[in-house]
Amino acid sequence: MSQNPVIDSQRLTLMLNELRLPAIKQMWSDFAVRSDREGWPAARFLAALTEHELAERDRRRMERHLSEARLPPGKTLDGFDFNAVPMISRAQVMAMCAGDGWLENGANLMLFGPPGGGKSHLAAAIGLALVEKGWRVLFTRTSDLVQKLQVARRELALEAALARLDKYHLLILDDLAYITKDQAETSVLFELISARYERRSTLITANQPFGEWGKIFPDPAMTLAAADRLVHHATIFEMNVESYRRRTATATIWSGTPTNLRNQEIRRRKLQRQSNRAARPNLGLANDNLAHQNPNYRVNLLSS
């Protein structure tokens, strides 16, 4: 190639810009040098550049999808302790993370359970895994999205706003139950659920499985209709576990306890020996034995 008539590299750069091929624009000259040096056939040179452009395009798309997904940072499947939620099958979650078989049918996923049980973490981790597989996801607090949709309704643009959400294969509505009263008085949430029904998937996290939903929708008929549409094709995980935060906090305290207890006990015995020596040794020994026979002994130690 180097023996070829001079290539106008400035013009080539312009053409690659025009064709929107930034990876080739950046790499072609290095590749050309290597290709000339190693005597690549022209087809290999072209294929190598094209492959780089495609790989770079995939990477950029993933980056875009990741940033538009607004996932809370650091919530991954690797960081999720499945032992803490024994009622959830890791294998089932992993299968769902491929996305096939439910996202193309617009099926839903619902995570119920008390605060701190890992609903938002698991929802975000599933969202991240799906983005990595090439699906488009949006994670939002339900009340934030409802607020935006209410504004759109006032501006007579609700339909367009709902249509814009269609590009997301999965819409994660975090904390459905935290909708405020004025938000519940409009039916935008119901319209969102209806618009996605059997077409696009929704993942919902909520503290209450349906019981409290009367507060989320304008009237009982709409509550029933919304729940009906959501559960029609849905996987439901009930994460009825103690708060992970509280549990790990307790674990930290308890992991320090044996040493504390041992130290307290050593101190107590030392003090007792000193006071026994000062008073009557036999009585001291009897007291010591009594202390060990007392079933409340450990309890007393714990509460002291």
Residues engaged in binding ligand ADP (CB under 6 A): 75, 79-81, 84-85, 113, 115-121, 205, 244-245
Q: Return d(Cα 163, Cα 167) in angstroms, integer.
A: 8
Task: Tell me the closest approach of the beta carbon of residue 123 to ligand ADP, in angstroms.
Answer: 8
The verdict on 140 binding Mg ion (CB under 5 A) reads no
Task: Tell me the closest approach of the beta carbon of residue 126 to ligand ADP, in angstroms.
Answer: 12
Q: Identify whether the C-beta of residue 214 lies closer than 8 Å to the C-beta of residue 89.
A: no
In the complex with ligand ADP, which residue's Cβ is closer, 101 or 115? Answer: 115
CB neighbours (10 Å) of residue 162? 17
Annotate each residue in 246-265 with x if it binds Mg ion (CB under 5 A) or - if it does not, as one string.
--------------------
Interacting stretch for Mg ion, rule CB under 5 A, among 18-26, 120-128, 233-241, 289-297? Answer: 120-128
In the complex with Mg ion, which residue's Cβ is closer, 120 or 142? Answer: 120
Number of chain positions touching Mg ion (CB under 5 A): 1
Q: Identify whether the C-beta of residue 193 lies closer than 8 Å to the C-beta of residue 199.
A: no
Could you tell which of ligand ADP, Mg ion, none binds residue 80, using a CB distance below 5 to 8 A set by kind?
A: ligand ADP
10-44 exposure pattern, b = at least 16 Cβ within 10 A, e = fewer: eeeeeebeeeebebbbebbeebbeebeeeebeeee
Tokens of 260: 């504390």
Task: Tell me the closest approach of the beta carbon of residue 148 to ligand ADP, in angstroms.
Answer: 21
In the complex with Mg ion, which residue's Cβ is closer, 5 or 79? Answer: 79
In the complex with ligand ADP, which residue's Cβ is closer, 25 or 75? Answer: 75
| N-term to C-term CA, the chain | 86
Lateral strand order in the sheet of 170-174: 137-141, 170-174, 201-206, 108-112, 234-238
Amino acid occupying residue 147 = Q
Task: Tell me the closest approach of the beta carbon of residue 175 to ligand ADP, in angstroms.
Answer: 7
The alpha helices in 39-82, defined as continuous H runs, are: 42-69
What's the count of helices (H) and strands (E) in the chain, helices before strands?
13, 5
Could you tell which of Mg ion, ligand ADP, none binds residue 245, using a CB distance below 5 to 8 A set by kind?
A: ligand ADP
The verdict on 120 binding Mg ion (CB under 5 A) reads yes
Task: Tell me the closest approach of the beta carbon of residue 119 to Mg ion, in angstroms.
Answer: 5
Could you tell which of ligand ADP, Mg ion, none binds residue 244, using a CB distance below 5 to 8 A set by kind?
A: ligand ADP
Could you tell which of ligand ADP, Mg ion, none binds residue 218, using a CB distance below 5 to 8 A set by kind?
A: none
Q: How far is CA 192 from CA 137, 200, 226, in A?
A: 16, 10, 10
Task: Tell me the closest approach of the beta carbon of residue 140 to Mg ion, in angstroms.
Answer: 12
2: Cβ contacts below 8 Å, ≥ 6 apart: 32, 36
Q: Identify whether the C-beta of residue 273 lies closer than 8 Å to the C-beta of residue 284.
A: yes
* Closest C-alpha among 146, 138, 160 to residue 190: 146
Task: Tell me the closest approach of the beta carbon of residue 114 to ligand ADP, in angstroms.
Answer: 7
Task: Tell me the closest approach of the beta carbon of residue 174 to Mg ion, in angstroms.
Answer: 6
The residue ranges that bind Mg ion (CB under 5 A) are: 120
